[in-house]
Chains A and B, each alone.
Chain A
Amino acid sequence: MSLRIINARLIDPASGRDAAGDILIDKGRIAALDAEARAARAERSLDAGGLVVAPGVIDLAARLREPGEEYKATLESEMEAAVAGGVTSLACPPDTDPPLDEPGLIDMLRRRARAFARARLYPVGALTVKLQGETLTEMAELAESGCVAFSQANVPLQDTQMLWRALQYAVSFGFPVWLRPAEPWLSRGGVAHDGEVATRLGLPGVPSFAETIAICTILEIVRATGARVHLCRLSTEGAVAMVRAAKREGLPVTCDVSAHHLHLCDVDLGYFDSQCRLDPPLRAQRDRDALSAGVSDGTIDCVCSDHTPVDEDAKHQPFAEAAPGATGLELLLPLMLRWGSLNKRPLAQTLARITCDPARILGVRSGRLELGAPGDLVVFDPDASDRIVPESLKSQGKNTPFLGYELPGRVRATIVAGKVVYERE
């Protein structure tokens, strides 16, 4: 099956290309560009006049809720959501029920994902058995089954000796470790950023230094072990400064932020809006500004959705009792486009943070428009916008602080391995 797209505004964030052009995908891979693509014959041809064609979006954190939590979402519903949002590859954290700590679970998950034939799935394996922080998982076995990295998801290791051993073991095989920096004792019981807003609302706070102390610990162990660590979901100004310094020092560290934290801060909690109950919590405006600057200058390598579908009842609770998290697969691209336009960043740079940059962290060839790369594309109208309403979301989770927002960028088609997996007029 071959597919040709002509008259596109072709953006390749990796090379900075943003120019009119044509592209041909054959046998699942990018086979030709521009004149050669235009001249080629293909089984299907799309005219993308007025539309952007870019590498498909790569999301480093999307909870699909399988196995175990199918009442919140299913692989099928969330894969539909992914491609509706232009996401062609996604990594799923191991905090399922049971956690992804055995090769059999990984096999099953990947087999089911392949059966739906939507986005590519990259499971992140559990770093410790049941995420309990006591026994290492069989990382080599898990990697053979297809795990791309190892993580504790949102369950931080309390035992720093265990963290040290886990990083030593992972580096022995060259496996990257993805860590959410959160000092467990300081985070205990907190549901909002420890600051003026939490004080006013009478909500128990998580101090910023719960994050920076954890980063400090992780960076020291990275220095000692040489382990490759990806820091997940930074939320504080201090964290951005520490990662900037660590990178300057040459430590093998990368990091990401959730799209929510680029747009919202603790003030958005308003009158206890449980849609804004997130983990890590939304922090102060200066934190949001520092995160945004970090994404601009590349200190923060990429932006993810931190997609966390939650059932409606779990959000209809007093703030502290509401389940944390927000749905985001379908909003990642629009939120990045909104971020790019608010911060006056070129479209190619904006898209880099959700395409070639996360591809580099996953160690995959997608995320770029070069010959031989996987034929994963998103076709979107940058000038159209949509109002976010629950009915418009394919995800089973309708929980997002952006309900009612008018967000830019309408996905018109999503292509995985040369196959059109989503199309909208």
Chain B
Amino acid sequence: MDRNPQLNKNGELQHLLSIEGLPREVIERVLATADSFVGVTEREVKKVPLLRGKSVFNLFFEPSTRTRTTFEIAAKRLSADVINLNIAASSQSKGESLLDTIANLSAMQADIYVVRHASSGAPFLIARHVKPHEHVINAGDGRHAHPTQGLLDLYTLRHYKKDFTQLTVAIVGDVLHSRVARSLIHGLTTLGTPEVRVIGPQTLMPSGVEALGVHVYRDMREGLKGCDAVVMLRLQNERMRGALLPSAQEFFKHFGLTADKLALAKPDVIVMHPGPMNRGVEIDSSVADGPHSVILPQVTFGIAVRMAVMSMVGGASA
């Protein structure tokens, strides 16, 4: 098997493709670097010159407004030039291959590619074919990974809970299709979280998910008991009614987060969600807007974490 393709020969972050396989020290360095950028985002002049003169290409082969925007803000606060390419609507529909697209952009002197793609593993393919001074950041690939989301989730948990080695974290809902869940699970287990739970019906659990180091709960009330944090996953519209689930209503009744279910967790539990939320499907409005919710701080931290990742890969030598 290849060497971990995201680290260079000095063990520095060359690309960010997945949290899986990242050494603990690298994750901790990202979180520590993000600390220093949280201050920047609160300043009046929200800019540092770390990536001045560098070009960040946002390559979104799958539509996304929120993630693309946060990457754009993060890159601009690092003084980089940002080019947004909505490829779903351009060259790919004309039959150009993924690697041809990359070769063309490379000729335009890109430094960092931020890639969102519907197919698991696509950023790995790109990373294998870019030049040594070019860097790839995975902004979500299929069901596989969404490492910056995972890192911002870790940042949020650390901010509110400090010590990962004392935590019980539950991840609820559509784990099967969730790159967010996979990335967070790898991050939590790498940082020594003793109890990571996944909660949902078997139709939304991938086979052998236990091998990732999690405990599976079918009963949400059982699974929430004693939790320090609850991470709700987004349920895609097209999956609410069909072979996986009979209806959004039945899902909400059994796996939606309501105040009475949340009362089973620890009194100081925090509630997270990667967004965008389906109120009344996976989460009740009273919880989403309630005192335990840290969903909006997650968004703020997300910018600092993405600045940290970009500055680290942009600063890594080939």
Contact = CB atoms under 8 A, between A and B. Distances in A.
A318 B122 contact: yes
A196 B143 contact: no
Interface-central residue, A195, A204, A318, by most chain B CB under 10 Å: A318
Contacts of A195: 207-208
Interface string A111-147: 0000000000000000000000000000000000000
A199 B208 contact: yes
A318 B1 contact: no
A321 interface: yes
Interface residues of A, number: 24
Contacts of A199: 206-209, 211-212
Interface in A177-210: 194-196, 198-205, 207
Nearest to B177: A202
Counting contact residues on chain B (CB < 8 A from A), the size range is: 20 to 34
A270 B17 CA distance: 14
Nearest to A320: B119
B5 interface: yes
Interface in A273-332: 274, 313, 316-321
Contacts of A207: 207
Given A200-B20, A271-B2, A272-B125, A317 B97 contact: yes
A138 to B, nearest CB: 38
B182 A202 contact: yes
B98 A318 contact: yes
Interface string A155-194: 0000000000000000000000000000000000000001
A274 B125 CA distance: 9
Contact of A313 (B1, B97, B182, B206): B97
Interface string B110-125: 0000000101111011
B143 A317 contact: no
B99 interface: yes
B125 A317 contact: yes
Nearest to B119: A318
A316 B99 CA distance: 8
A230 B197 CA distance: 46
Contacts of B125: 272, 274, 316-318
Interface-central residue, A196, A199, A204, A321, by most chain B CB under 10 Å: A199
Contact of A196 (B20, B124, B129, B211): B211
16 contacts: A195-B207, A195-B208, A199-B209, A201-B144, A202-B141, A202-B142, A202-B143, A203-B143, A205-B207, A271-B5, A272-B124, A316-B125, A316-B129, A318-B119, A318-B121, A320-B119
